[in-house]
Amino acid sequence: MDDKKAVVKVCAGTGSVSAGGGEVLRAFENLSRSSGIKTGFNNRCMTQKVGCRGFCSRDVLVDVILKGEKTTYEGIKPDMVPRIFEEHIIHGRPIREWMAGDEHKRFHSGQTKVVLSHCGEIDPEELDAYAAAGGYGSARKAYTLMNPEEIIEEIKRSNLRGRGGAGFPAGHKWEFARKTRSDKKYVVCNGNESDPGAFADRCIMEGDPHSIIEGMMICARAIGADKGYIYVRDSYALAVQRLRRALKQCYEQGLLGKNIFGSGQDLDIRLYPAPGAFISGEATALLKVIEGKRAMPVPRMHRTAEKGLWNRPTIVNNAETLANVPGIMSRGAEWFAGLGTETSGGTKVFSMTGKVNNTGLVEIPLGTTLREVIYDIGGGISNGRNFKAVQLGGPTGGCIPESFLDHQIDYESLALAGTIMGSGGMVVFDQHTCMVDTSKFFLEITQAESCGKCTPCRIGIRRMYEILDRITKGKGRLWDIELLEELGAHIRTTSLCGFGMTAPNPVLSTIRHFRDEYAVHIKDKKCPAMVCKDLLSFSCIPENCTGCGMCKMVCPADAVRGIRKKPHKIDQQLCIKCGSCFDACKFGAIHIQ
């Protein structure tokens, strides 16, 4: 890069746009336009929007690259822009107090960026920017220099496994499709990421849409497909918009369409913005949606790689899996396999949320331990509290307690701990989280998202939710834990698709690791974490109460009685257990039981 140029990179992922990234970018653009004459310098200021770089808790992030030196600012608001422009870009003096500190370095130092390597570096809406970063080189290589068998061999050697959750080796899947004879084959990108709290695929689709298209092109070459679908959740408005734009650019440049790179092979990729239903991320249900039917999984009597869309061989790969492919082709299978463990190569993107200091998108090599991710990259538990559990894999994943923190993150170890890789959701809980309430929360989602096809999933998950509900309301029965375990195991064994097989995970894993907490809820009718409202009672400690009346003022139910300067009382009949009095009391006079 020309070191006389000043480059300003403004994060333009969804998180950043909602934090005001659009205005920051516009402010920079306006200033650079008007300043060209004023400064009289030769260097031209260039502003770029770039994809999400992961550290969403400190948005808006702005990189200023001046004379090849990169300075990162965090938490930038539009009114801070003139000062940065004035002092840093024109006078070359970085503003120390706004610069990203050690946390930012720590957040990034533990990560290995493969899929996200372009996110935060290049403009996702420009094909040229992607091409300048080496984009479409792998696809060109695959179409002109390699034959399909070589591509499949390369993917197999890289140990790339499906990032959608089940972790099926991608190379083997491609080989099945390659070997099946058919007049038409399809490649489908699964971008229906619906887990609450997961945003890995979303950031890839928003921050680097061309890498997905390139991955699909290589896959299509390998299996001989001439039609592709990018199945993306419609509510990811920015992702839909950027993918549509990327596809348009590819058609304009002749990267898609007829006779790609002179190889004689055609490829037509369509965008399929689908109304988001959780279950339509399941491969067979997804194919039914593209066929125009209701999103309902069908029994896998054949592999989708052999009989998928309209009974033709179809490769359904997650967006993250496909985004890994160009890197494998350009940097070699050995490099990729070397990043991960023996059984699974490469990296995995996790969306870290919950009670950690640094929330955001984290890409780590497989085989990293959970402790490294949460304490090194995540910066530990927020508010100095203690770690309690981490929930992996979205609402159908399980909770892992502290004793498993030193386990490696890979498909096998996570399965042993009772959870799944899933789409890469990682929710961290501190000691103030009630595990019964948490599993109830996840089951509330899954019971509503079941497609209703098979009995155990449709009725069973609802019944599990109802049992949990009565436990949190103090109406639990003594045999409820055993009943939950039996029903959970039953649903796991008998369900039709992967959704039902994993849906009881939150309950089964929390019973396994936090059985006492369930028992206390049922037997003692108490919630140790003080979360389940129906089990709490608020009372006033007369010794501590000064009668200031703050609690009386904030109580929305008028449940606090008392005269000024005299100890107050809380009417248990009226109390709605909102906790306002507890928060308002400065003397610690409110006691929760």
Partner 1 sequence: MVNLNIDGEQISVDKNSTILDAANKLGITIPTLCHNPELTTFGGCRLCLVEVDGNPRPVASCATFVQDGMQVRSSTPYLERLRSTNIELLLSDHPNDCMLCERAGNCKLQELAYYYGIRENRFEGTRRIYNTQDNNPFVSREMEKCVMCGQCVRICEEIQGARAIDFSYKGLWTKVTPPFERDLDCEFCGQCVGVCPTGALTGKMWSNKGRQKFREVDTVCSYCGCGCNLTLAVKKNKIVRVYSRKNTINEGMLCAKGRFAYEFVHSPERLSRPLIRVNPKSNWVLEDSDQPYGSGKPRQRLAGFQDFKEVSWDEALEYIAFKIREIKENSGPDAIGGLSSARCTNEENYLFQKLIRAVIGTNNVDHCARY
Residues that bind partner 1 (CB under 8 A): 277, 279, 294, 296, 298-301, 447-456, 458-463, 466, 483, 486-487, 490, 493-496
Centre a 10 Å sphere on the Cβ of residue 208 and count the other Cβ atoms it contains: 31
Rounded to a whole number of angstroms, the minimum distance from the CB of residue 493 to partner 1 is 6
Q: Is the CB of residue 117 less than 8 Å from the CB of residue 197? A: no
Rounded to a whole number of angstroms, the minimum distance from the CB of residue 196 to partner 1 is 16
Measured from the CB atom, the residue of 100 and 277 that comes closer to partner 1 is 277
Measured from the CB atom, the residue of 1 and 301 that comes closer to partner 1 is 301
Residues in the chain: 593
What's the number of CA atoms in the CB half-sphere (13 Å) around residue 486?
Answer: 6
Rounded to a whole number of angstroms, the minimum distance from the CB of residue 11 to partner 1 is 35
Rounded to a whole number of angstroms, the minimum distance from the CB of residue 377 to partner 1 is 35
Measured from the CB atom, the residue of 286 and 487 that comes closer to partner 1 is 487
In angstroms, rounded to a whole number, what is the distance separating the alpha carbons of residues 186 and 220? 8
Rounded to a whole number of angstroms, the minimum distance from the CB of residue 182 to partner 1 is 18
The residue behind tokens 């009289």 is: 40
In angstroms, rounded to a whole number, what is the distance separating the alpha carbons of residues 278 and 235? 12
Measured from the CB atom, the residue of 33 and 300 that comes closer to partner 1 is 300
Across the strands, what pairs with 428? 354, 390
Measured from the CB atom, the residue of 311 and 386 that comes closer to partner 1 is 311
Across the strands, what pairs with 426? 352, 392
Instruction: Please name the amino acid found at residue 549.
Output: G
Measured from the CB atom, the residue of 191 and 456 that comes closer to partner 1 is 456
Rounded to a whole number of angstroms, the minimum distance from the CB of residue 495 to partner 1 is 7
- CB neighbours of 292 closer than 8 A, spacing ≥ 6? none
Q: Is the CB of residue 392 less than 8 Å from the CB of residue 413? A: no
Measured from the CB atom, the residue of 245 and 490 that comes closer to partner 1 is 490
Cis geometry, peptide bond prior to residue 187 (ω within 30 degrees of 0): no
**DSSP designation for 431:** T
Q: Which helix (H) or strand (E) holds 284?
A: helix 283-290
In angstroms, rounded to a whole number, what is the distance separating the alpha carbons of residues 385 and 376? 16
Measured from the CB atom, the residue of 371 and 462 that comes closer to partner 1 is 462
Rounded to a whole number of angstroms, the minimum distance from the CB of residue 159 to partner 1 is 24
Rounded to a whole number of angstroms, the minimum distance from the CB of residue 504 to partner 1 is 13
Measured from the CB atom, the residue of 63 and 195 that comes closer to partner 1 is 195
- CB neighbours of 237 closer than 8 A, spacing ≥ 6? none
Q: Is the CB of residue 450 less than 8 Å from the CB of residue 279? A: yes
Q: Is the CB of residue 514 less than 8 Å from the CB of residue 401? A: yes
Q: Is the CB of residue 233 less than 8 Å from the CB of residue 191? A: yes
Q: Which of 82, 43, 34 is nearest to 66 (CA)?
A: 43
Rounded to a whole number of angstroms, the minimum distance from the CB of residue 508 to partner 1 is 16
Measured from the CB atom, the residue of 452 and 588 that comes closer to partner 1 is 452
Centre a 10 Å sphere on the Cβ of residue 329 and count the other Cβ atoms it contains: 24
Rounded to a whole number of angstroms, the minimum distance from the CB of residue 307 to partner 1 is 12
Measured from the CB atom, the residue of 311 and 593 that comes closer to partner 1 is 311
Rounded to a whole number of angstroms, the minimum distance from the CB of residue 451 to partner 1 is 6
Helix residue spans in 431-504 (DSSP H): 435-449, 455, 461-472, 480-494, 498-502
Measured from the CB atom, the residue of 210 and 453 that comes closer to partner 1 is 453
Centre a 10 Å sphere on the Cβ of residue 84 and count the other Cβ atoms it contains: 23
Residue 266: both structure tokens together: 């055609």
In angstroms, rounded to a whole number, what is the distance separating the alpha carbons of residues 344 and 190? 20
Rounded to a whole number of angstroms, the minimum distance from the CB of residue 484 to partner 1 is 11
Q: Is the CB of residue 13 less than 8 Å from the CB of residue 4? A: no
